[in-house]
Amino acid sequence: MTGPLDPGTAAVVVRGAAVAGPLLMVVALCVRRTPSSRAVGAAVTATAWAALLLLPLNVAASSFGWWTFHATGAVWFGVPVDLWLGWSLLWGAVPALVLSRLRTGPGRGAGVLVLLTAALVWLDLALMPLGEPVVVLGDAWLAGEVLGVATALVPALLLARWTLRRTHVVLRAWAQAVWAGGLLLALPVLALSPEPRWPAPLTSIGVQLTLLACLPGLAAMQELAAVGHGTPLPYDPPSRLVTSGPYAYLRNPMQATVAASYAVLALTFGEPALLVGTLVAVGYSAGLGEWHEGEQLRQAFGPSYQAYRAAVRPWLPRWRPAPVLPAATLWIAADCVECTGVARWFARRGPVNLQLRPAAEHPEVLYRVTYEAPAVRAPAVRAPAVRAHGVAAVARALTHVHLGWALAGWALDLPGVRHFGQLGADAFGAGPRPSRQAACASGAAVLPRTVATPAADHRAINGDWVTTSA
C-alpha cells in the first residue's frame, strides 16, 4: 500500500485539479452542445465578474484569518493564479453554460437559480477543506465563504441569467464597465506597481486626466445600453445602430478610452511598459475589432452603418457631432425665466440636429426640461424614443454642441453626478413645475415653434429664441 502523498506532490495535485476540474467542465458543456453567442457572452461576463471579486477576496483572506495560501510559483498578490482562475470558471462559466441549457419559464427561473447557487456553495464547502497543503483554512473561514458568495457568486449568476434573458441591460452594461476597468486597466497597473517619478501635483493631474480619458468610454457604454439596448461585449451587442453620444464624434470610443488611459498613465508614472496597453488596444481595434465587430455591424445594419462609417473617424474625434446624430427635441418651459435663459444659451451655440421647442406645445404635461430623440431603428425592431428630464436632459443636449461641451455633458450624466446635480438645481429654483397650454394663453412669453434641420440658424427674436431653417 502506498502512504499519503508528500506535501510537494499533494500541492501539485491540488493546484492541477483546481484549474483542470472547472476547465474540463466547461469543455464538456461546450462539446455536448455548441453554446450560442449569447451563452458565450453570459459565460464571459460571469467569469470576469467572479475573477474581479475573487482576487481581492483571497488577498484579504490572509489578513482576516479566513485562509492562507502556501504555494510557490505562479503566485500573484500571494494568490496562486491557477486556483484563482479555476475558482472563477467554477463560479462563472460553468453555471452560465448550465443555465443556457435549461429551459425555464418565468415562474421557475428564480427557483433554478437558487438550486444552482446552493449546489455551488455545497461543492465549495466540500472542496475547500481538501485544498491542503495549498489552502490552509482558519477558524473563521466560513465568513470569507459567505462574503465570496454574496459578492462574487450571486452577482455572477444574476449577470449570466440577465444576459441569457436579455433583461436589466443597464445593470449588465455597468457590470461590464466595472470588470473591464478592473481586469483590463487596474490589475495590469497594479501588477507593474509603478512608482510615481514626478512631483505629487503632476501625478495628481495625470490621474485626473486618466479619469477624463475614461469619460468617452463610460458614456459610450451608457449609450449602447440606453439607445441600443445592448452592451459593449461583442457576444451581447446592441439591437440598434447607435450614432449618438460619443459615437457621434468617434467610431471607437471604448478602444480609444483604453488606449488613451494607458498612454496618460505611462506619462503619469514614467513607466514605458504601460504603453503596451495602448498598443494592444490599438491593435485589437484595427485587427480583430475591425474584422469581427465591423462585419457584425455591416450585416446587422447595412447601408446605415456604411453611412455612419463614412461620417465618423475611428480614432481622431470630430469637434462638432456628425450629421448622423439623430435629430432630437429639447422641450423648455416658455414661462420660466431660468429655462428660457438655457434655451437662448443653446440657440446661440447652434447645436447640431437639436430642435428647441416650448414645453407647453408637448402633448403631455411636462414638469422639467425634457430631451426626446427617436432611437435609430434596426430591421424589425420598434424603437422607443430616448427620453431624459431635468439635468439629464441638459446633459444630453450638450452633446449636440461640440466635443468640449459633450465631455461636460457625459460627466454630468454619470450616475450619482446626475442625481447630485438635479438636487442642486432644484435647490436653486429649478424644481419641477407644470408647463401647460393654459400658461401660454394667459399672456406668458410664448416661444415660437421651431424647425429642426441638420444645419440650423439660431437667432434671437424679440428677446426669445427660435430655430429656423438655414
Tell me the per-residue pLDDT of 319-331, one tens digit each, with 9 for 90 and over: 999 999 999 999 9
* Sequence letter at residue 255: Q
Strands 354-358 and 328-332: parallel
Rounded Cα distance, 29 and 36, in Å: 12
Cell of 288: 480583430
Map residue 127 onto helix, strand or coil. helix
Rounded Cα distance, 36 and 47, in Å: 16
| Domains of the chain and CATH, by start | 1-167 (no CATH), 190-318 (1.20.120.1630), 328-469 (no CATH)
- Tell which phi-psi region holds residue 446, choosing left (phi > 0), alpha (psi between -120 and 50) or beta: beta
Question: According to the model, what pLDDT value does residue 32 have?
Answer: 81
Under the banding of pLDDT at 50, 70 and 90, the label for residue 375 is low
Rounded Cα distance, 256 and 111, in Å: 42
Question: According to the model, what pLDDT value does residue 107 have?
Answer: 54
Question: According to the model, what pLDDT value does residue 105 have?
Answer: 53
pTM: predicted TM-score of the whole model, two decimal places? 0.85
Question: According to the model, what pLDDT value does residue 235 have?
Answer: 86
Answer whether 328's CB lies under 8 Å from 388's CB.
no
Cα angle vertex 260, ends 258, 264, to 5°? 120
Strands 385-389 and 370-374: antiparallel
Query: To the nearest whole number, what is the mean pLDDT of the chain?
Result: 85
- Number of C-beta neighbours around residue 300 at 10 A: 16
Q: What percent of the chain has pLDDT over 70?
A: 87
